[in-house]
């Protein structure tokens, strides 16, 4: 666990959402200088923090909508810290929580050198990371379909398919031999969905591979 330990005159903790952000700014003594709910508007944010801009550090817990804030701070030369959500929860697990409390707690942890850091992903690589995450989402769904086929055979005490059904050529005839037509139809539905997942996953993997190799 890495903590942010640099000292600054002002510490800004933000509880960030998709459309709003609760901002809290503390001074070196821990006094609240600003505590306000704002829309997620870059210009409004910059105007709000302007009086405390000199050597300010901004911290926000890791969240899907945080890209724009990280990029804004980098562009404006403002120190930015991304908080590790899981480690932060282990440190601050208070039950009484809301946006106002969380923003002040973030600023206080930052000032006290107890704000756990997460890696701020470079902008140029974010889209590829998100693409890999999307691939993983599809891979998991495909795996659930394959697992359902196997589990259905176990459920009815029938021999498992003899070959690895992850390969398309080994999925022919899946569902045959079950007395109840509904069971067969269920397994046919699994197979019908696996084929498109195979195509999508393969296409995503080729796209990532081309990007990794770079222009030739």
Q: How far apart are CA 5 and CA 81, in angstroms?
A: 11
According to DSSP, residue 142 is labeled H
The predicted-structure confidence for 72-122, as pLDDT tens digits, reads as follows: 999 999 999 999 877 666 556 554 478 899 999 999 999 999 999 998 888
| Mean pLDDT, residues 33-47 | 97
To the question of pTM greater than 0.85 for the whole model, the response is no
Query: Cβ(46)–Cβ(65) under 8 Å?
Result: no
Residues 6+ apart with CB under 8 A from 64: none
Q: What is the pLDDT of residue 92?
A: 60
Q: What is the pLDDT of residue 89?
A: 66
> Architecture of 3-116 per CATH?
2-Layer Sandwich (3.30)
Four-point Cα dihedral 182, 184, 186, 189, nearest 10:
-130
Q: What is the pLDDT of residue 95?
A: 45
Query: How does the average pLDDT of the chain come out, rounded?
Result: 90
């Amino acid at each position: 666990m890495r903590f942010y330990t640099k000292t600054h005159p002002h510490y800004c903790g933000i509880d960030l959402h998709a459309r709003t952000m609760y901002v809290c700014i503390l001074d070196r003594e821990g006094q609240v200088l600003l505590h306000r709910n704002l829309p997620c508007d870059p210009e409004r944010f910059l105007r709000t923090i302007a009086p405390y801009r000199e050597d300010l550090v901004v911290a926000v817990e890791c969240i899907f909508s945080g890209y724009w804030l990280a990029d804004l701070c980098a562009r404006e030369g403002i120190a930015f810290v991304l908080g590790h959500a899981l480690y932060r929860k282990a440190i601050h697990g208070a039950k009484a929580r809301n946006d106002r409390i969380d923003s002040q707690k973030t600023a206080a942890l930052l000032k006290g050198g107890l704000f756990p850091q997460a890696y701020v992903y470079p902008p140029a690589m974010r889209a590829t990371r998100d693409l890999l995450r999307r691939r993983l989402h599809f891979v998991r769904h495909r795996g659930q379909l394959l697992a359902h086929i196997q589990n259905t055979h176990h459920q009815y005490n029938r021999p498992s398919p003899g070959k690895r059904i992850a390969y398309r050529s080994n999925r022919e005839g899946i569902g045959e031999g079950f007395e109840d037509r509904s069971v067969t139809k269920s397994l046919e539905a699994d197979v019908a969905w696996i084929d498109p997942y195979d195509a999508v996953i393969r296409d995503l993997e080729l796209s990532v591979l081309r990007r990794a190799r770079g222009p030739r």
